[in-house]
Amino acid sequence: MIRVQREDFDVGVEMAKLTQGNGKIGGVCCFVGLVRDYLGHDGTGAAVRAMTLEHYPGMTEQKLAAIEAEARRRWPLEDSLVIHRYGRLGPGERIVLVATASAHREAAFEACHFLIDWLKTKAPFWKLEETPDGGQWVDARDTDDQAAARWDLPGRQ
C-alpha cells in the first residue's frame, strides 16, 4: 500500500495493521527516515531549522506504486507499506516509512532496502532546507544513484 500524506504516522500502529490476521508473516522489516538538524552529510554543516517536502501529486503516487509492484515481483512479500510525508517538517520528524512483511527475514530485509533506494531516486519529491542563511534546495547525490543502481537487473532499466 502507498500513502502520500501531510500528517505524521505511528510506526507501531502501522506495523500492527500490516501483520494483523496474516499468520504466514514471519518477519517485518521497517525503515523510518527522519529530518536531520544539519546540512550536508557529516554533521558539520549549518543548522537546519525545518525542511519542506514538495511533491508532484499524481505522479508521486504512481511512481511509488510502480516501485512497490516491482518489489512484490522480485521478493515473496506477504505485504508492504510505503508512507511518505510532504509539507513542512522540523528536525527529528518522520519523513518516510517503508515496511515489508514476509515469511522469512531475507526477503523482508532486501525488499525494504530496495524500496528506500529506488524511492529516493525515482519518486518525485524535493527537499527545501531552511537554515539561518535562508532556504536551499537539496541536491541529488551520486551516492543515492549508486545505491539505487545496485538493484538494476541486467538488460533492464
Partner 1 sequence: MKILYFAWLRAKIGAGEEDLAPPAEVATVAALVEWLKRRSDGHAAAFADMSIVRVAVNQDYVPLDHPVKLGDEVAFFPPVTGG
Contact footprint for partner 1 (CB under 8 A): 33, 53-56, 58-59, 62, 84, 95-96, 116, 119-128, 137-140, 144
Q: Which is nearer to partner 1, 16 or 65 (CB)?
A: 65
| Residue 22 Cβ vs partner 1, minimum distance, rounded to whole Å | 27
Cell reading at 38: 544539519
| Residue 103 Cβ vs partner 1, minimum distance, rounded to whole Å | 27
| Residue 55 Cβ vs partner 1, minimum distance, rounded to whole Å | 7
**CB neighbours of 37 closer than 8 A, spacing ≥ 6?**
47, 48, 91, 92
Q: Which is nearer to partner 1, 1 or 128 (CB)?
A: 128
| Residue 58 Cβ vs partner 1, minimum distance, rounded to whole Å | 6
Buried b (16+ CB within 10 A) or exposed e, 12-28: eebbeebbeeeeebebb
Q: Which is nearer to partner 1, 25 or 112 (CB)?
A: 112
- What angle, rounded to 10 degrees, do the helices at 105-122 and 59-74 form? 150
